[in-house]
Amino acid sequence: MTRHLVTSALPYINGIKHLGNMVGSMLPADVYSRYLRRRGHDVLYICATDEHGTPAELAAKEAGLTVAEFCARAHDAQKAVYDGFELSFDHFGRSSSRQNAGLTQHFARRLHENGFIEERAVRQVYSPVDGRFLPDRYVEGTCPHCGYDKARGDQCENCTRVLDPTDLIEPRSAISGSTDLEVRETKHLFLLQSRLQHEVEAWIDAVGDDWPVLSTSIARKWLTEGLQDRAITRDLDWGVPVPADTWPELAAEGKVFYVWFDAPIEYIAATEEWADAAPEGETRDWRSWWYDADDTVRYTQFMAKDNIPFHTVMFPATELGVREPWKRVDLVKGFNWLTYYGGKFSTSQKRGVFTDTALSLLPADYWRYFLVANAPESDDSSFTWEHFTTTVNKDLADTLGNFVNRVLSFSRKRFGDEVPAGRAAGEAETRLGDEIARLLAAYEEQMDALQFRKAAAALRALWSAGNSYLEEKAPWLEIRTDPEGAALTLRTAMNLIHLYGVVSEPFVPATAAAMRGAFALAGSAPAWVDADRARSLDTVPAGTPFTVPPVLFAKITEEDMESYRARFGGV
Known binding-site positions for Zn(2+): 143, 146, 156, 159
- Among residues 390, 426, 389, the alpha carbon closest in space to that of 560 is found at 389
Q: Cα separation of 132 and 236, whole Å?
A: 10
Q: Which residues are annotated as a binding site?
A: 143, 146, 156, 159, 347
Q: Cα separation of 416 and 398, whole Å?
A: 24
Q: What is the DSSP string of 138-194?
A: GEEEE-TTT--TTEESSB-TTT--B--GGGSEEEEETTT-----EEEEEEEEEE-GG
Q: Cα separation of 168 and 192, whole Å?
A: 24
φ, ψ of residue 454 to 5 degrees: the values are -70, -35
Residues 6+ apart with CB under 8 A from 378: 214, 336
H/E stretch holding 124 = strand 117-127
The arrangement of strands across the sheet holding 139-142 comes to 151-152, 139-142, 169-173
* CB burial readout 319-351, b (16+ within 10 A) else e: bbbbeeebbebebbbbbbbbbbbeeebeeeeeb
Q: Cα separation of 183 and 147, whole Å?
A: 23
3 state SS of 98: helix
∠ CA 133-137-141, rounded to 5°: 100
∠ CA 507-75-250, rounded to 5°: 125
Asked whether 154 and 162 are in contact (CB, 8 A), the reply is yes
Residues 6+ apart with CB under 8 A from 279: none
C-alpha to C-alpha distances, 404 to 164, 297, 420, nearest whole angstrom: 57, 39, 16
- Among residues 254, 255, 261, 253, the alpha carbon closest in space to that of 232 is found at 261
Q: Which residues are annotated as a binding site for ATP?
A: 347
φ, ψ of residue 51 to 5 degrees: the values are -110, 0
- CA torsion through residues 230, 234, 240, 244, sign: positive
